[in-house]
Structure 1
Amino acid sequence: MPSSMLLYLLLGWLRPSPPLPPPQPPLPGLEKMSRWPKTDMAVASAATLVAAQCVEAAEAMGAEREHLHSVVSSAVNVRSAGDIMTLTAGAATALRGAATLKARALKEVWNIAAVIPVEKGIGAAGNGAVMGCELLKRTRKGDLHWKIVSVYINRSSQVMLKMKSRHVAGTITKKKKNVVLEVIKDMPAWPGRHLLEGGEHRRYFGLKTVMRGVVEFECRSEREYDIWTQGVSRLISIAAEKRNSRHKV
């Protein structure tokens, strides 16, 4: 090999190699998550699962989806031990929310024992509200929703069922009215409700309506069940008497 070629190869071997490119910064959040101990990762996953189960249980007890949205959002943003504690506390709050709704229903009874005054006189407007409070209603698909329920006799001597939904910030919307034909007593218990606190005292009844068929409700006690079933049955009798008297005139 010529000496000039050997010199060229030697100089190329001795030439310093080009510098390596600077390291790229880690993706946002990746470096922080990589420093998590495996135990923290496991606890975070467990806490997320617990929150999901608690939210599901709270919905089954009748809590509204809007009240649980923040808990679900927190479940996907766990970053630290403090977040895990907040998430678990939020899940417990979701369960307590259902109990709060039930307690609020007892405070919002408008006229729970006004069946006899309706019989004395409906008034110039023709309306006689019998009772109105928040009851747990089951849909045809099995979903549970709290409804502000009232029953009254309208000007046409029809027994009317009015249901209103309560939403965020206490607003009340979606008023639905139906003509009541019959009270259905001693309906079967809803699945799983007997497992809740006081489940053995819960009673169920239905109101057969013209447009929606049978609408099912849950009562928390025998007394509440008797007030609703006997009160609405009495209203149906009063309305029938009024219609008959009109036909005789």
Structure 2
Amino acid sequence: MASTSYREITLNGLWKNNPGLVQLLGLCPLLGTSNSTVNALGLALASALVLICSNTAVSLVRGVVNTAVRLPAFVMIIAALTTCIELLMQAYTYELYQILGIFIPLITTNCVILGRADAFAAKNDPGRAAYDGLMMGLGFAAVLVSIGAIRELLGTGILFANMQLLFGPAAANWKITLFSDYQGFLLAILPPGAFIVLGLLIAGKNRIDSILAERAKARQPEVVVQSRRVRVTGVIE
């Protein structure tokens, strides 16, 4: 079986097979922690790190793990890595860890991570497995942070509030107040707001895909006509 190219892995992770917009996996953390940019970014980084490391580890041990215990072994690897991330967050970003709460340990059961371990990492070399984890992690993080930023902006009129929880005291001045006298839009930061914003992002992606498909279809007859001209010219000569 031919190995998947790095270009295809990139396109799949960021766009064609994006875990948040196409596969619709990991919706629990995607919707539950995306009421602000810092919360979304914190969980996105944690999930991406676990995804990269778990993909790499699964690829390394895929040849020595018995088929009967494959999935339990994958879960143990993911759980161990999640515990490491959890301890690191307790040590360096404790306040953010408290805010995210149960969603950090729940990375262990994130369908994105287990799905990529079984569907890709277990069938490819460590380099491609790690790169797949990186691209899928970035794709998931992009959706998560986008939802968090949109909800924070619509709900409070502010962007990048409380970034010091993740990046330390130096990030306290990163806050951008776009609307100083904004009264706030409560629905945006409530759970229904997450569903609405995610639905709009999915609709936007589907619309872009349809436009690209129409343009590709419109160019196809020109290619066919040109190829026929080349064949006819060759016959005459």
Report the TM-score range of the alignment, normalised by the length of the smaller protein: under 0.3
Structure with higher helix content = 2
What TM-score, normalized by structure 2, do the two folds share?
0.23
| Larger RCO, structures 1/2 (Cα 8 Å, 6+ apart) | 2
Structure with higher strand content = 1
Look at both structures and tell me which one has the larger radius of gyration over its CA atoms: 1
What TM-score, normalized by structure 1, do the two folds share?
0.23
